[in-house]
C-alpha cells in the first residue's frame, strides 16, 4: 500500500509556530478560534515540546521556544465565515487589534489581531469575487 506523503487532515503547507509562551498561545488559540488539540507532547519540565491543533479545516503545529530555537512571531491570514465575529472573539480572548474589520478592494472583508505572544492574525471573509482588471482599478483608486 502506498503511503500518502501528506498526512490525512493536513495540507501541503502547515504553519509551525515556535512561541515564547506556547501554553499561553495554545489557550488563546482555543478561546479565539476554537482550536482543537489533536496531539500534545510535554517535556519533563512541563513545557510544551510539540502540539498539533486543528483550526477550521487546517492544522497548525507549535512548540515552546528555547535558547537554540527562540520564539519568532509570524503572520497568518485565515478565512472564516464571519470575520467580524471571529475578530471580536480573538480580542475577547486577549488579542490586541491591529486593524478593525473593513471591506477591501480585492473582495475580502478582514481585520487584524495580535495574539498574546506577538503573532499577527489577519481574519478574512470573502465577500465578493473581483476580477483582475477590477482589482487593479480599485487598487489605483485607493492610492489616490
Across 81-85, 87-91, 139-143, least confident range? 139-143
DSSP H or E stretch at residue 140: helix 132-143
DSSP 3-state helix, strand, coil percentages of the chain (rounded to 5)? 25, 40, 40
What residue ranges do the domains of the chain occupy? 16-143
* pLDDT tens-place string over residues 88-139: 999 999 999 999 999 999 999 999 999 999 999 999 999 999 999 999 999 9
Among the listed residues 73, 92, 87, the one whose alpha carbon sits nearest the alpha carbon of residue 21:
73
Which pTM was predicted?
0.91
Mean pLDDT of 2-8: 89
Q: Would you state the torsion angle of the CA atoms of residues 69, 70, 71, 76, taken in this order, to the nearest 10 degrees?
A: -50
pLDDT at 144 > cutoff 90: no
Tell me the pLDDT of the chain averaged across its residues: 95
Class of the CATH-defined domain 16-143: alpha beta
Which residue in the block uniquely carries the three cell numbers 472583508? 109
DSSP string, 85-127: HHHHHHHHTT-EEEEEEEE-TTSEEEEEEE-TTS-EEEEEEE-
pLDDT at 46 > cutoff 90: no
The per-residue pLDDT for 143 is: 84
Amino acid at each position: 500500500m502506498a503511503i500518502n506523503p501528506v498526512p490525512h487532515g493536513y495540507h501541503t503547507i502547515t504553519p509551525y509556530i515556535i512561541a515564547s509562551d506556547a501554553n499561553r498561545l495554545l489557550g488563546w488559540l482555543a478561546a479565539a478560534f476554537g482550536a482543537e488539540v489533536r496531539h500534545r507532547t510535554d517535556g519533563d519540565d512541563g513545557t510544551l515540546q510539540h502540539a498539533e491543533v486543528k483550526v477550521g479545516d487546517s492544522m497548525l503545529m507549535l512548540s515552546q521556544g528555547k535558547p537554540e530555537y527562540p520564539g519568532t512571531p509570524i503572520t497568518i491570514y485565515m478565512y472564516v465565515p464571519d470575520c467580524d465575529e471571529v475578530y471580536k472573539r480573538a480580542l475577547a480572548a486577549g488579542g490586541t487589534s491591529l486593524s478593525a474589520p473593513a471591506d477591501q478592494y480585492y473582495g475580502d472583508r478582514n481585520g487584524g489581531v495580535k495574539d498574546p505572544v506577538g503573532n499577527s492574525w489577519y481574519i478574512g471573509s470573502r465577500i465578493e469575487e473581483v476580477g483582475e482588471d477590477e482589482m487593479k482599478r480599485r487598487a489605483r483608486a485607493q492610492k489616490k
